[in-house]
Amino acid sequence: MTGSPRRTLVTTALALLAAVAPLTPSATAAPRTSAAADAPAALDLSASRAQWIDKNTLAWEVQGDAASQELVYARDGKLAVKDGELTGEGRRIRLTPAEGGLTDAQRKKYPHLKSYAAFTVDPRDRDRVRHALTGQLVATRAGADGTLLTATGVQTQGILDDLYGAAATKAALGPQFRDGRPTLALWAPTAQSVSLELDGKRVAMRRDDAGGVWSVAGARSWAGKQYRYVVKVWAPSVQKVVTNKVTDPYSTALTADSTRSIAVDLDDPKLAPKGWEQLKKPKATPLRGAQIQELHIRDFSVEDKTARHPGTYLAFTDTKSDGVKHLRELAKAGTSYVHLLPAFDIGTIPEREADQATPDCDLTAPAPDSEEQQACVAKTAAKDAYNWGYDPLHYTVPEGSYASDPDGTRRTVEFRQMVQGLNGSGLRTVMDVVYNHTAASGQADKSVLDKIVPGYYQRLMADGTVATSTCCANTAPENAMMGKLVVDSLVTWAKEYKVDGFRFDLMGHHPKANILAVRKALDALTLKKDGVDGKKIVLYGEGWNFGEIADDARFVQATQKNMAGTGIATFSDRGRDALRGGGPFDEDPGVQGFASGLFTDPNASKANGTPAEQKARLLHYQDLLKVALTGNLSAYTFTDSSGRRVKGSEVDYNGAPAGYADAPGDALSYSDAHDNESLYDALAFKLPADTTAAERSRMQVLAMATSTLAQGPSLSQAGSDLLRSKSLDRNSYDSGDWFNALHWNCEDGNGFGRGLPPAADNKDKWAYGKPLLTSANLTPGCAEINGTSAAYQDLVKLRATEPAFSLKTTDQIQSRLSFPLSGTSAETPGVITMELGNLVVVFNATPQAQEQRVAGLEGTAYGLHPIQARGADPVVKSASYARGSGTFSVPARTVAVFERG
């Protein structure tokens, strides 16, 4: 209770009488003013424009003066506005305007509310605050004559954290087992009641008033039982009190299609595959040296004829399959991690095979440029077995469609077997995690969190609607219990599934503090205590800056610039765009870049500009790539292509600094990923149409080399070393197996020419793509596919065996890495020459052999690096060095690494 103990019984009684007075219009009430009549939008209870930020303060953007303001609450949720009056049985909490508005501390915590007016809860009414939060809440302002001027719903995220956060963040939620006995706990502070539905029966739960946590202790017989929570709560999205039967957001196991949670102890020995406790992992590679393969679980094996468990977790245990053999080759070359696209419980895939739709036509029959394949795939896309999985339903349970049986704990066992299989192949495992949004919100079928504490876990806009800048219903990790869910979930994946790293989808939508809290929690895991060395777990994510939280509007974001120096990497788009050309959303996909022929091998696209414009842009792209090769260091200084001495942060990238990293490992380089066109498809659009298959293979290797040989971690989409194509599909998240499947056997092709890509995201590019899909130049054979992979593996091996590619400090990079020809008359458009310790690397993206004379190296012995000299690429073996003049000669479309002799 927060009310003053000094109040007399008379005062209390009078206040209570006023508080329960009906809110129906009075026969003697003053008539509404024209201002109220003319502003119906001001009387809208479906919006929530007021924000209760702590137990004493309401923030509200209001205009004009009012004689009084109140919070009105009703447990039955029947407050309404009728004829300009608030109706229904409600209780009142008086509010007083706070002179000067929000305090400095409040503005710092809620910067997006800094201009809002502040209203203080009357001390006489503070004992009603907790009760008020369990029903409908309305903020009102009235004129001197009692006329209702404004009425709106109230957002309560801030006050819930203020009242309950300290205790609730320390609570153990979900199923917790001790000596075989489970305790089930759910945070639901606004619920009017919560009970447990176990095997169809209701079991009462006890509420802890300090934290708002409801819990119940069960018997041993509860282990393995199905359950749901029955939550009675006010739901603003439907403007009524509802009773939801909802699964546990902290579920550790689920029935098929996530209809019920299952009380499961993840430490149960029955869920541990043979050898799980003694699992030996490959040696950990520091993030700054990580070479990562990004892989979708179903893509990996669904069309692999040699896999015994196609499309499932267990495919990674098929040691004789073509896919596993290829992963082992990559691991042997130096690839250190496999990054799995989302593998938690997914909201859009029917988990039982019998319920999954399949295309009902022969996809192999139509022509390579036909519309028929995509039309057929689109008919079943919503109900087939395919989705990338960026639509989370339950964050801490493996997806059921990848298991041999989605009903129960086979998914737990088989996920662990997958980790064993990858570790046994010499690869550590990274999970792609998506905590920035949910599959749905409100009362939707696929909503979980918002049915338990409505309006809390989702990020709300100023009017109380759910933000959707991420594509879906955004979450709010800035709120204490959503932040806790992120940390708790990741610790579970690390401890119970022995996952070695996490990649955060849209990490910029998280507060920096939340990601650092994850790092701290993982660092606390030890082999002795937890079976895991948490400090060796790598973290990286998408640090994009956009949406309602852009430019730190609500909190300090986990964006590229803000995460510098934390040891948590962000994807760097600088090098990707420079090597490809343009950006992912260009109207004309023919915009060229360094590795796609800009100026040196122009295509027919007018979007590239005049030769002079192309040359200027190419030289700027080369500067962007130089910065990328340093690991995107902001403080690294070099001479740019114009001859100026600049820092990485002073090189322009679309109005932002190209260099933003403080240390090696802050930025992750990549030439392609699951998003946007695959590298092969991007080059298909950009290279001149008459470029041969062999030449395309060489450009693929050169493009991949710009990230593989850069300082800091590097990621490649699985199959890019095999010229992987998705038939020009730029957004294949729901395009089915036909467009997405990996082809490990070169005789099956590379995926190109499987028809025009799905219309929904690609029709505007069909005119550009249709002539390409039938081109013989774009249909590589085994020589090109296998040759690309072998040359790429040589580069990975070079990267892994030469310490110079993984320098530890900015100072080391500044002193050992340089671009000796940059900004001089000897700088060649389309060629980058990099000196790195005892190595010289020449990237020749032009269609002609090039000579690069480096003054100061005359008389110094160099030779082609032994890995390339003995390697798979016959062309690079003709690269040479003239000691007398210090001149390096490199064949067309080739990256060559020379070693000082």
Q: Strand 148-155 and strand 50-54: pairing?
A: parallel
The pLDDT tens digits of the residues spanning 80-133 come to: 999 999 999 999 999 999 999 999 999 999 999 999 999 999 999 999 999 999
Whole-angstrom Cα distance, residue 626 to residue 640?
9
The pLDDT tens digits of the residues spanning 233-245 come to: 999 999 999 999 9
Q: Is the confidence at residue 37, as pLDDT, over 50?
A: no
Residue 866 neighbours by CB under 8 Å, 6+ apart: 899
The pLDDT tens digits of the residues spanning 594-619 come to: 999 999 999 999 999 999 999 999 99
* pLDDT confidence of residue 25: 32
The pLDDT tens digits of the residues spanning 192-209 come to: 999 999 988 999 999 999
Question: Alpha carbon 280 to chain centroid distance?
Answer: 29
* pLDDT confidence of residue 199: 87
Query: DSSP string spanning 525-543?
Result: --HHHHSS-GGG-EEEE--
- Type and span of the H or E element at 638: strand 637-639
Average pLDDT over residues 423-445: 98
Ramachandran category for residue 756: left, alpha or beta (phi over 0 → left; psi -120 to 50 → alpha) = beta
For residue 375, give Cα distances in angstroms to 365, 380, 420, 755: 14, 9, 39, 10
The pLDDT tens digits of the residues spanning 273-312 come to: 999 999 999 999 999 999 999 999 999 999 999 999 999 9
For residue 744, give Cα distances in angstroms to 299, 325, 785: 11, 9, 10
* pLDDT confidence of residue 6: 26
Best CA proximity match to 351, nearest among 397, 295, 289, 286: 397
Residue 445 neighbours by CB under 8 Å, 6+ apart: none
Percentage above 70 pLDDT, the chain: 95
Residue in 299, 542, 640, 734 annotated catalytic: 542
Whole-angstrom Cα distance, residue 766 to residue 764?
6
Q: Tell me the pLDDT of the chain averaged across its residues.
A: 95
Residue 505 known to be catalytic: yes
The pLDDT tens digits of the residues spanning 574-583 come to: 999 999 999 9
* pLDDT confidence of residue 512: 98
- Alpha-carbon Rg for the chain, nearest whole angstrom, is 30
Best CA proximity match to 46, nearest among 318, 291, 240: 240
Whole-angstrom Cα distance, residue 770 to residue 615?
29
The b-or-e profile of 529-543 (16+ CB within 10 A means b, else e) is eeebbbebbbbbbbb
- Type and span of the H or E element at 842: strand 839-844
- Helix-, strand-, coil-residue percentages of the chain, each rounded to 5: 35, 25, 45
Backbone angles phi, psi at 565, to 5 degrees: 90, 0
CB 392 within 8 A of CB 432: no
Helix axes 322-333, 782-801, angle to 10 degrees: 40
Whole-angstrom Cα distance, residue 508 to residue 218?
40
Q: If DSSP codes are grouped into helix, strand and coil, which group holds residue 113?
A: helix
Measure the CA dihedral 689/692/695/697, to 10°: 100
Q: How confident is the model at residue 36 (pLDDT cuts 50, 70, 90)?
A: very low
Q: What DSSP character marks residue 498?
A: -
Backbone angles phi, psi at 443, to 5 degrees: -100, 15
Whole-angstrom Cα distance, residue 85 to residue 72?
13
* pLDDT confidence of residue 34: 31
Average pLDDT over residues 439-458: 98
- Tokens found for residue 272: 């541990």
The pLDDT tens digits of the residues spanning 813-863 come to: 999 999 999 999 999 999 999 999 999 999 999 999 999 999 999 999 999
Token look-up 């260099």 returns: 659
Whole-angstrom Cα distance, residue 207 to residue 213?
6
The b-or-e profile of 130-156 (16+ CB within 10 A means b, else e) is bebbbbbbbbbbbbeeebbbbbbbbbb
- Type and span of the H or E element at 489: helix 480-497
Other beta carbons within 10 angstroms of residue 111's beta carbon come to 13
* pLDDT confidence of residue 895: 98
Q: Is the confidence at residue 12, as pLDDT, over 50?
A: no
Measure the CA dihedral 310/314/319/324, to 10°: 60
Best CA proximity match to 581, nearest among 495, 715, 699: 699
Q: Is the confidence at residue 589, as pLDDT, over 90?
A: yes
Residue 858 known to be catalytic: no
Q: Is the confidence at residue 261, as pLDDT, over 90?
A: yes
The pLDDT tens digits of the residues spanning 123-164 come to: 999 999 999 999 999 999 999 999 999 999 999 999 999 999
Ramachandran category for residue 548: left, alpha or beta (phi over 0 → left; psi -120 to 50 → alpha) = alpha
* pLDDT confidence of residue 459: 98
Percentage above 90 pLDDT, the chain: 95
Q: If DSSP codes are grouped into helix, strand and coil, which group holds residue 43?
A: strand
Q: Is the confidence at residue 41, as pLDDT, over 80?
A: no
Residue in 85, 399, 505, 784 annotated catalytic: 505
Residue 778 neighbours by CB under 8 Å, 6+ apart: 684, 693, 696, 752, 753, 772
The b-or-e profile of 6-43 (16+ CB within 10 A means b, else e) is eeeeeeeeebeeebeeebeeeeeeeebeeebeeeeebb
* pLDDT confidence of residue 200: 84
Q: Is the confidence at residue 11, as pLDDT, over 60?
A: no
